[in-house]
Amino acid sequence: MAGLLLAAATLSGCATPTASAEVRLPPVTGSFDYQLGGAYDMAGLAVVARDATAAPLAGAYNVCYVNGFQTQPGDGERWLRDHGSAVLRDADGTPVTDPDWPDEYVLDPSTAAQRATILDVLGPVVSGCADKGFDAVEVDNFDTFTRFSDVDRAGAIALARSFADIAHGRGLAIGQKNAAESTEAGRREIGFDFAVAEECATYRECDRYRKVYGDHVLQIEYADDLPAPFHEVCGSPDRAPLTILRDRDLVPKGADGYVYQQC
């Protein structure tokens, strides 16, 4: 598999604790698939992203999905019962959910104690990606501090940096998931190595990812909200080398509603 070795080094004066670690970035050529809704075989894939509960695909560069700033569907009650101090609350003390994903509670990394609780739960998940043989990890919902005013930006940055330290310490690259407005901070303050960008064509922000991460951007557009026919998206000078079109639910191949195309 083609890839680029990257030594984790000092970025704008902020050194990562794992400076000796080497991580391999995703290839920028070949085929790519985003399989968070269920893993399935697809011959010849160069890059594939799968949930942390799935197994990596032999012969591909594998990116492991971890929901790092919100709870996974079905896990909310466990978080409230066992780790409730790390769940964001509104002024009335009610746990806050994501309006777009109402079965996911928002985590609150605003204090050191809250971050420690989150890392006690999710740090082993990131390490588990390495144990399974993944090459990289993407930590979702980093942008909660931009969507929920009670989430402290500095705390979110610190938690993301801790995820990056864990990943790098286990030889995993780490991808910035969305949050185009924070690409500079993601690269220099946190140490993200590449980006995973959903709907950057729709929101006209692909250039923000490319400016910071170059060709190391995995771009996913969705068939229900394209800004133009997909062939026009593919013709944009700002789109990533690995750009695909998927169905919103990311269902496995063969399931009703499955959509897949690549530029």
pLDDT, residue 5, reads 41
Instruction: Judge whether residue 16 has pLDDT over 90.
Output: no
- Residues 23-54 have pLDDT tens digits of 999 999 999 999 999 999 999 999 999 999 99
Look over the chain and give the mean of its residue pLDDT values, rounded to a whole number: 92
Rounded CA Rg of the chain: 18
Decide: residue 152, CB within 10 A, 0-12 exposed, 13-18 middle, 19+ buried. middle
Give the pairing type, strands 217-222 and 194-198: parallel
Residues whose CB falls within 8 Å of the CB of residue 105, separated by 6 or more in sequence, listed in order: 70, 71, 76, 79, 80, 87, 88, 95, 96, 97, 98
Query: Residue 208: helix, strand or coil by DSSP?
Result: helix
What percentage of the chain exceeds 70 in pLDDT? 92
Query: Residue 217: helix, strand or coil by DSSP?
Result: strand
pLDDT, residue 13, reads 34
pTM of the model: 0.91
pLDDT, residue 22, reads 83
Closest to 49 measured CA to CA, from 195, 166, 156, 190:
195
| Across 87-103, average pLDDT | 95
Q: In which region does residue 191 sit, left (phi positive, over 0), alpha (psi from -120 to 50) or beta (all else)?
A: left
pLDDT, residue 247, reads 98
- Residues 177-189 have pLDDT tens digits of 999 999 999 999 9
| Across 215-223, average pLDDT | 98
Q: How far apart are alpha carbons 241 and 263 in whole angstroms?
A: 8
Closest to 105 measured CA to CA, from 154, 148, 156, 137:
148
Query: Residue 5: helix, strand or coil by DSSP?
Result: strand
Instruction: Judge whether residue 234 has pLDDT over 60.
Output: yes
Instruction: Judge whether residue 12 has pLDDT over 90.
Output: no
- Residues 79-89 have pLDDT tens digits of 999 999 999 99
